[in-house]
Every structure is written in structure tokens, then in C-alpha cells.
Amino acid sequence: MARVYNFSAGPAVLPEQVLREAAAEMLDYRGSGMSVMEMSHRSKTYQGILDEAEADLRGLIGIPDNYRVLFLQGGASQQFAMIPMNLMKNRVADYIVTGQWAKKAWQEAAKYGTANKIASSEDQTYSYIPDCSDLPVSENADYVYICENNTIYGTKFKTLPNTKGKPLVADVSSCFLSEPVDITKYALMYGGVQKNIGPAGVVIVIIREDLITEDVLPGTPTMLQYKIHADAGSLYNTPPAYGIYICGKVFKWLKDLGGLSAIQKMNEEKAAVLYDFLDESSLFKGTVRRQDRSLMNVPFITGSDELDAKFVMEAKEHGLENLKGHRSVGGMRASIYNAMPMEGVRSLVEFMKKFEMENK
Amino acid sequence: MARVYNFSAGPAVLPEQVLREAAAEMLDYRGSGMSVMEMSHRSKTYQGILDEAEADLRGLIGIPDNYRVLFLQGGASQQFAMIPMNLMKNRVADYIVTGQWAKKAWQEAAKYGTANKIASSEDQTYSYIPDCSDLPVSENADYVYICENNTIYGTKFKTLPNTKGKPLVADVSSCFLSEPVDITKYALMYGGVQKNIGPAGVVIVIIREDLITEDVLPGTPTMLQYKIHADAGSLYNTPPAYGIYICGKVFKWLKDLGGLSAIQKMNEEKAAVLYDFLDESSLFKGTVRRQDRSLMNVPFITGSDELDAKFVMEAKEHGLENLKGHRSVGGMRASIYNAMPMEGVRSLVEFMKKFEMENK
């Protein structure tokens, strides 16, 4: 067995310890005589797994009692519809469009009401976060929406927008649990888990209780109502049980590391190694405005499509995988999520240095 | 490690060989250097897994080219909305209500149009399948809907309903791949995989191509449109990648066993052992009309709630798990899906005999 350094933007690297535990428990979860995959979701054993996952997540973030935690299916893409269907009471919402995913969310919301694009960074290929300190937030907006970390473009909101009292809804898929957050600043925070937390097929929604109502848009499917899932403790129907179990292991791993402050420090150190090199390199350069740089996704280019392709190919031969950038940015992208070890980032930078020397 | 015999109705027992392979590949899938959980869904390796799973499923069932296979999320419960939202062009559909799941599907469809209950077996706690040879199918029905195997009640359609030319839509969650089927008799066949195929979080939809159109009901979320997923080859967004990988392994396991005819024979033999005993027992009796008995789910009772509870408890002590019946039927239920070995059924019957002797 030889593990590579996997810089995939998602699904992405998971902690090796989590995978080892999952493998060891595959045929017999702790004396139950069965795999977690084979377990009734109504069993005490599985309820224990679910409860512990939720409790650990609440502990990590510091989620107060007036927020509910939901483990759902359909990914962020399904939330793009579920959010307006549940929250658009006035049929008005404001969207800050800082990338492809925020744009898709905005376009989907427009099916259900007036979705205003109140800010955007599309003019410069989403390479920065617009100033959101005094935006024209709509008088009757049901919420203001952001994608907090933009996976494709490598930007992150360092300051949350001033929503002028309107509820803030945030897609945190690619920065979930990467640093401490004040959840009380959000009305709804959600993310697909396949970047920083677990296997694809689970989306976690953390929602303030007062936003969970029966008053949804006409025609909203039962499965797309937050209240249905909240009332059933995420067990309205069979949940993505194995995925939640893996998420629970990642929560434990994070707790053992020291929680979100500890992982933030590690993430900052890892990102600094890469960004510092990019800032001094004569070949590679980052594509994002410095103050908006993500700790998780680091796009960079050489300026030559040919060299970019050569770099991605040679990196792969050196066990540095999935460094090709998204087609809308080009170049390279290194996703350095929680589970990417410092050695992975150092190996990447060492290889970049070598490549730079060889391709002067 | 001691494996139990797990008679859970779902999530349910999986082939031990599949679990062993999954455990062995957990940290390094065939030299890729990563777990399937960590793999980009846009990678060649993952595309290979997905393509092979689809090809094997097509081979097993014998799916012709004019049907599409979709691997989706949200379970059967989400299909309850997705089906009418996509297929109710005339806003009329006919439902045959043979259990709780068919009833839920019918109730959900009523949100989107006229959902007619054209037959039901609710009068006798769904313990039989109604005669469906000459039902009052609506002139303008967009489809006729059945739940082909009723997990809770242990009934199965042995003959498909006469839909009088209307498209047949069938939930086959609990009989998926348990015997050969003529897919051309169905317009849409779907099932959650967590009973007979894989881990919860994947639903497979097999749909005739002409039913996949852009003409869906207003307000249908993008993620609930068959066309979106069909056009993207089940990769519109990140799929439940690990679950699909496990499904693929189960398809291979079935192929190696000899396909659906072979598994049907094994299922018939297993079910016969249990039903034959029930027919001769003086303590236990089956709850389903003989000609409608499911090969997969076998509910039975002693007639005494006290004895039922005692049986379930003592069976558990003997490594025979999850035999408690659904609360709406009471008593016991043994789910004997494809992956339940004959020895499991024999052990159960041996234990029932012993229990009967001891509790005369």
C-alpha cells in the first residue's frame, strides 16, 4: 500500500486514521456482529453513532440549543432549492455571487422568487471577495446568501457581510470545520461533507430553530422540508448512514487534535508554506487577491498552459495527485483540507521548487 | 470477529465477500494510493467504477439501450415527489396502495395533481395483493404506480397489474435483483439500494428514455429532474460515490453467483425452508395470503405479544438479529435478502423449532 498526496478539491483526502478504523470495523462494528452499512437505522447502536456524531459536531463548533443539526442527502446542489423553498416567506432573497456555486444557488433561487444579485466578483473571474460592508440589502429580503469559501477560485470571506439585520445563509462546504466560527452570526450554515469531513452523499445543515416552520412554498416535496427532518432527528427516512458514521470519526479525530482552534493553526501553517513560496517564486503565482486567499484551496498558474500541463503530469508521477485547476481558472489548484498533512504541502513545494529550477 | 445473522428489513445484510474487499481496499484502491471515498468523482478511476457498475447492472437485468440507469440520492422517499414532478404531464396518476410506502407515495403525488387510489389492501392490514387484472385505470393517467414488494407486510406482486397501456412505475426497493424481471414491462423502476444492493444513500432509477423530458412541473428543483441527471451520466453533482462503489461490488458478486436466475433459485429455496416450517408449525404462523408471499420479507406471529417479545429477545441471544416485526403488523419479520445465506435461514428455523418445543 502506497498512499499518495491527494490535492483533490472534493471528494478529498480523509485522515488515514479514520480510514484505518473504518477498515477494521467493516465486518463487525464493535462486537455488533455487523457492518455499519448493514445496520438498521432504527437500532440503538446506530442511534448511538448518530447522537455521538451530532454531539461531537456541536462541541467542536459550539452550537447552542436554539440551532438544529440535520444530516441530509442531495449535496449542496439540493440545498440551492431547499433554502428558498423553506425560507423565502416574502419571496425575496439577496445573493452575493463570488463564484460558480454561489451563482448556481442564485439561479436556482430565482425559480422561487426574486433573487437579487447584490454583489459579485464575476468581473475579475471571481478572484476576490467584494466589499460587503454596505450592500443594498433588500428591505424585505428573507435572507442574504453567501458561499463562504469558493472552492474553484480559492477565495474566502475573511469578514462576514453586513446583512443589515437579515438572516445570513452560508454554504461552507469547502471551509467546514477548518477554523472556529461564531455560529450565532448565521441563520443557516450548510455544507456537503465531501471536502473536509467525510464521503460524498451527506450534507450537514445547521439551522436556527425559528427558521424551521411548516410554512414552506407550495409544492415543496416532503423530503425538502427542514421541519420534516428536524422533527424526526434526521431519521425521517433511511439516512446516508455509513457516511454519517465516517463523519463522526472525523469529528473525533478533530477533537483529539484539539478542536477548531488547533486545526486552524495547522491550516494557517500549511497554507503559509504554499503561499509564501508562491509569493517568492519566479515561475508560479497565485491567482487570488492576497487578503481574500482561502486556507483550503490554492489556485496558481505559471502563465503557460504548456508548462501547467507539464507540471500537473510530472507532479502526478511524484505522488502529488489532482493538482489540475478547474477549467474556468486553468492552471493548478492545490486543495489542502484539514486532512492534508504538512508533509504533503512541503512535498508539493519541494517539487514546485525543483520544477521551477528545471524549467527556467 | 463474530458475525451475526442479521434479518434487518433495511439497511440489511451485505455479502461478506463484498465487505472484505471494501475493507482491503479502504486505504488504497487498487494502487491508486487513495480510498474510493477520497477520489474525485471526475477522475478516470472513479468514472471506471461508475461505468462498470452500470454495465454490470445492465447485464444482470438485461436493460435495453432505450432505458437509462441513474444513481441518485434521497432514497425512495424523494422519488415519491420526483416521479409526479417529472411524469405528471396530465396531472393525473393512478396508485395501487398495498402498504405504507405505496400510501406515502400516493399522498405525496396528491400534492402535484390528481392521484387516484384505484386499488388497496388496507382493509386487511395489507396482508394480500388485490386483483389488478381489470382496474379502473384513468383514461388520462400519466402512469400507474405500484410498490412491487411490500417490506413491512411481506407481500409481493406475482403478476404485474394490467395498466391498460399506461406506463408502469414500480418501487422495487425490497425485491431489487432478487429474481429476473422483464424491464420492458416497466416505464420506470426504482429502488433504494439499502435492502438488497448496498449501503443507504443511493437510489437507482431505471427509466425509459422517452419519459425523460424537460417538461416538468413548475418549481421542480434542478436536482429533482431526471433529465439533468441523465444528461450528466449521474454526475451532475457529486454522487454518493462510495455507496455506488459498494453497489458495484454487489453486482459483481451476483454475476459470479450466476445472475438473477441463480439468485432466484437460492431465494426460493431459502424462503421455502421458512414458509414450509410456518405452514406446519403449531406455534408460529405467517400473516400473508399464501399466493402473495414475498421471497424477501417474511412476517410471522405466535398470536401472543408476550411470546413474540420473548422470541425476539431469545433469538437475539442466539445471534439471530432484528427479527422484531414492524409496529403496524406486530410479531416478527425475517428479511431474507439475497445476501442472507441459507445457513442463516436454517439457523432461524432450528431456533424456532426449539422455541416452539419449549413454549408449548
For A195-238, what is each residue's pLDDT tens digit? Answer: 999 999 999 999 999 999 999 999 999 999 999 999 999 999 99
A205-234 residues touching B, CB cutoff 8 A: 217-219, 221-224
B261-320 residues touching A, CB cutoff 8 A: 319
Q: Is B335 touching A (CB cutoff 8 A)?
A: no
User: Which residues of A are annotated as catalytic?
Assistant: 101, 171, 195
In this prediction, residues B21-47 reach a mean pLDDT of 97
Q: Which three cell numbers stand for residue A172?
A: 461552507
Q: Is B28 touching A (CB cutoff 8 A)?
A: yes
Residues with Cβ within 8 Å of A201's Cβ and at least 6 positions away in sequence, in order, are A73, A75, A194, A240, A243, B73, B201, B202, B239, B240, B241, B242, B243
Query: Looking at the DSSP assignment, which residues form a beta bridge with residue B299?
Result: B333
What is residue A360's predicted lDDT score, i.e. its pLDDT?
81
Longest CA–CA separation in chain A, Å: 63
What is residue B318's predicted lDDT score, i.e. its pLDDT?
96
Clarify whether B171 is annotated catalytic: yes
Question: Pick the catalytic residue: B94, B106, B142, B195?
Answer: B195
Residue A318 to residue A321: CA distance in whole angstroms: 8
SS3 assignment, position B315:
helix
Burial class (CB within 10 angstroms; exposed 0-12, middle 13-18, buried 19+) of A261: exposed
A271-308 per-position pLDDT tens digit: 999 999 999 999 999 999 999 999 999 999 999 999 99
Q: Which three cell numbers stand for residue B27?
A: 486505504
B58-97 residues touching A, CB cutoff 8 A: 73-78, 80-82, 85
Backbone angles phi, psi at A177, to 5 degrees: 60, 25
How close, in Å, is residue A243 to chain B by CA atoms?
A: 8
Q: Residue B2 — pLDDT band, cuts 50, 70, 90?
A: confident
Q: Is the ipTM of this complex over 0.95?
A: yes
- Taking CA–CA distances from A34, the nearest residue in chain B reads B3
Q: Which three cell numbers stand for residue B90?
A: 396530465
A100-157 per-position pLDDT tens digit: 999 999 999 999 999 999 999 999 999 999 999 999 999 999 999 999 999 999 999 9
Q: In this complex, do B321 and A33 lie within 8 Å of one another by their Cβ atoms?
A: yes
For testing the chain A interface, which of B5, B18, B40, B222 should be mutated: the one with the most A CBs within 10 Å?
B40
- Please give the angle made by the CA atoms of B323, B326 and B330, to the nearest 5 degrees: 85
**DSSP assignment of A178-231, as one string?**
SS---GGG-SEEEEESTTTTS-SS-EEEEEEGGG--S---TT--GGG-HHHHHH
Q: Is B34 touching A (CB cutoff 8 A)?
A: yes
Does the pLDDT value for residue B323 go beyond 70?
Answer: yes
Whether residue B94 contacts residue B166, with contact meaning beta carbons closer than 8 Å, is answered with yes
Q: Give, rounded to a whole angstrom, the gap between the first and last alpha carbons of chain B.
A: 35
Q: Is A191 touching B (CB cutoff 8 A)?
A: no
Residue A220 to residue B102: CA distance in whole angstroms: 19
Other CB atoms within a 10 A radius of the CB of residue A319 amount to 15
Nearest by CB: B38 against A2, A13, A238: A13
Other CB atoms within a 10 A radius of the CB of residue B305 amount to 11
Q: Give, rounded to a whole angstrom, the gap between the first and last alpha carbons of chain A.
A: 35
How close, in Å, is residue B18 to chain A by CA atoms?
A: 10
Q: Which of A49-53, B166-170, B253-257, B325-329 has the lowest mean pLDDT?
A: B325-329
Q: In this complex, do B240 and A73 lie within 8 Å of one another by their Cβ atoms?
A: yes
Q: Is B9 touching A (CB cutoff 8 A)?
A: yes
Name the percent of chain A lying above pLDDT 70.
Answer: 100
What is residue A1's predicted lDDT score, i.e. its pLDDT?
64
Q: Which residues of B touch A322 (CB under 8 A)?
A: 40, 43
In this prediction, residues A72-87 reach a mean pLDDT of 98
Q: Which three cell numbers stand for residue B154?
A: 411481506
SS3 assignment, position B229:
helix
Q: Which residues of B touch A238 (CB under 8 A)?
A: 10-11, 75, 192, 194, 200-201
Does the pLDDT value for residue B1 go beyond 80?
Answer: no
Whether residue A148 contacts residue A161, with contact meaning beta carbons closer than 8 Å, is answered with no
Q: Residue A328 — pLDDT band, cuts 50, 70, 90?
A: confident
Q: How far is CA A215 from the centre of its chain?
A: 28
Q: In this complex, do B34 and A222 lie within 8 Å of one another by their Cβ atoms?
A: no
- Taking CA–CA distances from A321, the nearest residue in chain B reads B33
Alpha helices for chain A (secondary structure H):
16-24, 44-61, 75-87, 100-109, 226-231, 241-257, 259-280, 305-317, 342-358
In this prediction, residues B184-203 reach a mean pLDDT of 98
Q: In this complex, do B38 and A236 lie within 8 Å of one another by their Cβ atoms?
A: no
Residue A31 to residue A44: CA distance in whole angstroms: 14
Backbone angles phi, psi at A70, to 5 degrees: -120, 135
Other CB atoms within a 10 A radius of the CB of residue B223 amount to 26
B99-118 per-position pLDDT tens digit: 999 999 999 999 999 999 99
Whether residue B146 contacts residue B98, with contact meaning beta carbons closer than 8 Å, is answered with yes
Q: Is A14 touching B (CB cutoff 8 A)?
A: yes
Name the percent of chain B lying above pLDDT 70.
Answer: 100
Q: In this complex, do B19 and A11 lie within 8 Å of one another by their Cβ atoms?
A: no
Does the pLDDT value for residue A186 go beyond 70?
Answer: yes
Backbone angles phi, psi at A69, to 5 degrees: -110, 125
